[in-house]
Amino acid sequence: MSTDIISSEPATGEQVWRGPVGDVGDTVARARRAWPAWAAQPLTNRIELMRRFANEVRREYDNLSHLIARETGRPLWDTRSEIDEVIARIEISIRSYAERTAQRRLDSALQGSSALRHKPHGVMAVITPASSPAIVPVAQIAPALIAGNTVVFKPSERVPATAELLVQCWYRAGISATVLQLLIGGADQGQDLVAHAGVDGVLFTGSAHVGIAINRRLAGNPGKVVALEMGGNNPIVVWDTPKITDAAVLVVQSAFAGAGQRCTAARRLIIKATMYDALIDEVRRLTERLIVGGPFDDPMPFMGPVIDNSTADGLTESFVYLLSNGGRAIKHLVRLDDAHPFLSPAIIDVTRMADRPDVELFGPLLQVVKVDDFETAIAEANATRFGLCASLVGGNPQDYNRFWAQVRAGVINWNRPTHAHAAGAPLGGIGLSGNHRPAAYYTADTCAYPVASAELDQPRAGLGIGLKDA
């Protein structure tokens, strides 16, 4: 039996990449051997290598964007925007390290000085999903390398070709092949990597059930730093606003961009009863206009397929379950191609469901709940074990202040899509969405630990009490 990993195009089924599964033990051992020399490099050298990496990505702009489109099925316009984010993320990571882990010194005359510096942890495992196969790993690898860690990068087995090209860009920039290593594999390799005694920290982005398993596996090892960036059952609340079309566009962008395969996508639309008919009509009308197609189609589609047929089957089953348990279809989920995982974006009203499943349906499936008052809207937004992001559309400043104060989420937006995110902001959630170690701008916090020092250039001490006469 072959142990090779194979990635295929969701849109066509054609093979993109094939290669052997990596050896976890050998990979971690090489990373441990490389760490002392890499950590001893001047920070300026490590930063310069990051900037060279950004230049290599610029050179591979077309190849990377096309490769991501092939491996994920996302439209080319969408994958190009991801490469733009990758390039921008390098300078953001450099600024983040300077701000979040800055060195500080306080002089105090005869008491000497106190200092705050940061040290790298050692070997960091970076484990990432298929949905954003370039920006998510770069946003974690770059801070880890800047801080002086070596990295073992284990991407989703669905996007190894993108991961390989990214790593080649790092190598051409001057990063040693032992400082950053690519570990190809599936769930077994991921589990072994997390538990390996030679790994000092884990940066994980992915589903809640895998993140929970990692948390349990490492619960007895407090010395290993773990940052979990997981998904969400994210609400978007639409309240009093005369701008129905704008509100509908924000809902559609939040729910269906990337075929709903973003951790920050809106899964639930909570809407004021008096606005229900007008908004739902506009959301449905706009959704019906969305083009679903292959990544290189002309005209260019708004969204492509989901990642694979098993995901498409699971979403179809979930829609049928909701429909069979009190849901009312506003726009049916339709399998557009029997052979490939193309789905039409779907909308279903679950207001009358007695027991709504609190799960992340990772795809183009939006659930709608109608409410009468703002208190109920907030209660519905919080009716989840997740807590990644939430958005309020409409309302007044007082409504937003109340929404911000009472909604449990790590990202809370107003009149912006759920996935809108400022470059200099953290990204992370609470509950099943994370473990209070946010990513993005705050990834630097997880990649180095603070060391406090009290210092004098010469020993100077005395005992002034409790001594017998000489």
Q: How far apart are CA 115 and CA 68, in angstroms?
A: 45
73 φ, ψ to 5°?
Answer: 85, 0
- Selected catalytic residue, list 263, 380, 389, 447: 263
Determine contact, residues 10/306, Cβ cutoff 8 Å: yes
Determine contact, residues 145/178, Cβ cutoff 8 Å: no
- Selected catalytic residue, list 229, 282, 360, 380: 229
Determine contact, residues 283/266, Cβ cutoff 8 Å: no
Quick count: other Cβ atoms within 10 Å of Cβ 262? 22
| 229 tagged catalytic | yes
Nearest Cα residue to 293 out of 338, 337, 263, 250: 337
Which residues, 6 or more positions from 31, have their beta carbon under 8 angstroms from its beta carbon?
A: 123, 150, 151, 152, 178, 179, 181, 198
| 263 tagged catalytic | yes
Q: How far apart are CA 418 and CA 109, in angstroms?
A: 52
Q: How far apart are CA 193 and CA 243, in angstroms?
A: 50
Q: How far apart are CA 331 and CA 349, in angstroms?
A: 10
Looking at the DSSP bridge assignments, the partners of residue 15 are: 8
Determine contact, residues 133/153, Cβ cutoff 8 Å: no
Q: Which long-range contacts (CB under 8 A, 24 or more apart) does 393-398 make?
A: 393/236, 393/237, 393/238, 393/239, 393/241, 393/247, 393/250, 393/251, 394/238, 394/239, 394/240, 394/241, 394/243, 394/247, 394/275, 395/239, 395/240, 395/241, 396/240
Residues known to be catalytic:
229, 263
